[in-house]
Amino acid sequence: MSIRLTQTVQKGGCAAKVAAKELRKILGGVEFPPAPPELLIDGRHFDDASVHQLTPELALVSTLDFFTPIVDTPRLFGRIAATNALSDVYAMGGRPITALGILAFPIATLSNEVITEVMQGACDALKKAGATLSGGHSIDDDTLKFGLSVSGLVHPAKIWSNQGARPGDVLILTKGLGTGTLTAALKREAVTELEIKEAMDSMTSLNNAIDWLEPLGLTSAIHAATDLTGFGLLGHAMQLGRASGIDLEFRFSQIPILSGALEMIKQGFLTKAHRTNREYVDDSVDWIGSPLSDEARLLLFDPQTSGGLLLAVAPESADAVVNALPFARPIGRVNERALTHQTRIQITQ
C-alpha cells in the first residue's frame, strides 16, 4: 500500500470539527426531546459524553467520535481514531466496554486492504483498553472517515464531568500540545511520521487515568475533567470554566509541548481550526506579564487530536495525581469567577 491517506482529504483529525462558535449557533436552534431524570449528563455543557443512570450503582457512558485521516499509515490512523473516541469515556471517569465502528469508505479509489488495516488499528487500541468491537455501520463515500461509538460504565457517584471545578484546584494536563500543527506539516510533506514519532506515540496513548488513580484511592480528587480535542487547550478549558462557573489561570512555561510543534507553527503549518479556535476564545483571555510570541499563543489554540485530559484536582492531592500518571504536568489553577456571567482565562509566562 503506497497511498498516503492525508493526501486523499482536505482536512484531517479533530481539526476538521465544526468550529465551536458555529456549532453553538446550530445547536441553539434545535429543540431537543425532554430529558428523563436518569440522564445525568447531556450535551448542554459541551461535556465529553452523555451519562445515563441504569441502577443506583451503575451508569452508562455513551459517546461518538469520527474524522478523516490525520496520518498516512492506515493502521496508525485506525489506532488514533479509536484512542481518540475511547478518551471521551475516560474523561467521564468511566471504563469502556464496547464500541461500534462508523466507516465511510471510497470503494472505487481505495483497496479493501486499506480499510482492513484501519480496522485492525482500531481493534489494537480497543484490546489495550479492555474493550471490544461489537458491530458498526459503513457507507460508500467520496472520502475516508472512521471512528467509534463507545459505551462505558461508571458509578453514578463517581462521574467526572466538566462541571465540578472548584477555586483552588490545580489544573493538570496529561499530554503535550501540538498535534494540530505537526500533522498539518505531515500533510504538506514537511515531515514524516517517523520524524514526529513523539506526536504519534501521544495520539495512540490511552487517557486511562482512572486505571492509575483508582488503585491509589485518588479518583475522588478529580473535581472536573475534559479531554482536549479540536477546540484546543483554551477552547476546552473555557467550556470547563463556563460549566463550572469559575475562572482559570495557566502558566505557559509549565505547559508540555510536543517536539517540533513551535517550529512548525513558526513555519506556518496551521489549520483553519487555529483561527476559529482563537476567534472562539480570544475575547475571554487575558495575557498577563511578559508578552508571549504569536507562535506560543497559537499553540494554545492548536486543535488536538487524541489530546490529553485536562483535570481540575483538589490541591492537597495534586502532587499524588501528577506522580501517579505517566505524563502529567501541573499547568495552572482554578480561580473564583470575577465576572458574574463570563469565564476569564489568564495566561502568564
Model confidence pLDDT, tens digit, residues 124-152: 999 999 999 999 999 999 999 999 999 99
Average pLDDT over residues 99-114: 95
Distance CA 293, CA 37 (A): 48
Mean pLDDT of the chain: 95
44-74 pLDDT tens trace: 888 999 999 999 999 999 999 999 999 999 9
Res 203 pLDDT > 70: yes
Confidence (pLDDT) at 17: 79
Q: Which three cell numbers stand for residue 97?
A: 466496554
Q: Which three cell numbers stand for residue 193?
A: 511520521
Helix 272-281 to helix 232-244 angle (10° resolution) is 30
Which residue ranges form the domains of the chain, and what is each CATH number? 5-158 (3.30.1330.10), 170-348 (3.90.650.10)
290-293 long-range contacts (CB < 8 A, ≥24 apart) are 290/349, 292/252, 292/347, 292/349
Residue 107's CB is within 10 A of a number of other CB atoms, namely 12
Residues 6+ apart with CB under 8 A from 10: none
Estimate to the nearest angstrom the gap between the alpha carbon of 207 and the chain centroid.
9
Residues assigned a catalytic role:
14
Percent of the chain with pLDDT over 70: 99
Give the residue from 169, 216, 220 showing the smallest Cα distance to 324.
Answer: 216
Taking a C-beta distance cutoff of 8 angstroms, is the pair 84, 40 a contact? no
H or E, element range at 316: none
Average pLDDT over residues 282-291: 90
Alpha helices, H only, 205-326: 209-213, 232-244, 261-266, 272-281, 294-301, 318-324
Residues 6+ apart with CB under 8 A from 268: none
Residues 6+ apart with CB under 8 A from 234: 277, 281, 285, 300, 301, 345
Place of cell 455513551: 62
Confidence (pLDDT) at 18: 84
Confidence (pLDDT) at 8: 86
Res 184 pLDDT > 90: yes
Average pLDDT over residues 320-348: 94
Percent of the chain with pLDDT over 90: 86
Residue 289: CA atoms inside 13 Å, Cβ hemisphere, count? Answer: 10
Distance CA 117, CA 180 (A): 23
| DSSP 8-state assignment for residue 18 | P
Residue 320's CB is within 10 A of a number of other CB atoms, namely 16
Count Cβ atoms within 10 A of the Cβ of residue 90 and give its class: 0-12 exposed, 13-18 middle, 19 or more buried.
buried
Confidence (pLDDT) at 85: 98
Residues in the chain: 349
Confidence (pLDDT) at 233: 98
Confidence (pLDDT) at 44: 86
